[in-house]
Amino acid sequence: MKFSPMMLGLALMVTAGTADAALPRLIPDHDAMGVYQISQPGRPSQTWRVRFQAASRMLHAVSLSGQASGVSVLLDLESGAADVVVPQMHAVVAVPGLSGLIHQVLDQRGAHFTRLGEASIAGHRCTRYLVLKPRGDGSACITRGGMVLAATGRNDHGSLSVTALRIADAPQPPGAFTLPPDYSSVTLPPQILAQLLGE
């Protein structure tokens, strides 16, 4: 399926780095919570609260605005498995193939990183990088601990940007990273899933 800007935005938030020790961390090294704005030209901006648990490498994001308000995504960064939780339907929808998107974002072959300097976003210091890849380019501002505070990406399919509005470095509640036990598992056509995510 074609992934929504929101899904790609979540991937950018946690995978904008590289394994090279001289460059940013690949993912955060600590628990954290952030409120992010995801923007794409010609579409309404979306605001998402994102929680990250370092021990399990799990990410939980919930929409705070727009058509997708209340919908949440649980993402396992190890396997790439993702589930969309839809309270309005009392259901959980598996999102197959997200691991391919994660690996695409993580693939640093042919990428060139240029350090641009320091910045302060949402009250936190970060280092800005220009990232040039064969099939696209972008930028990221990443803290020493691996939190992405801003990121942009552009390729043949368009562009999008992610900006942190608020960041809190603190342990996250374990219950935020489990699926509701009383929800039904359902399969939805890609078009319906895209609508639920605010597309």
Q: Model confidence over 64-109: pLDDT tens digits?
A: 987 778 888 888 877 778 888 989 889 998 876 555 555 555 455 5
pLDDT at 104: 55
**What is the homologous superfamily of the domain 5-108+160-196 according to CATH?**
Lipoprotein localisation LolA/LolB/LppX (2.50.20.10)
What is the rounded CA–CA span in Å between residue 84 and residue 91?
8
**Please, which pLDDT band fits residue 42 given cuts at 50, 70 and 90?**
confident
CB-based contact 45:69 (threshold 8 Å): no
Domain ranges of the chain: 5-108+160-196
What letter would DSSP give residue 175? G
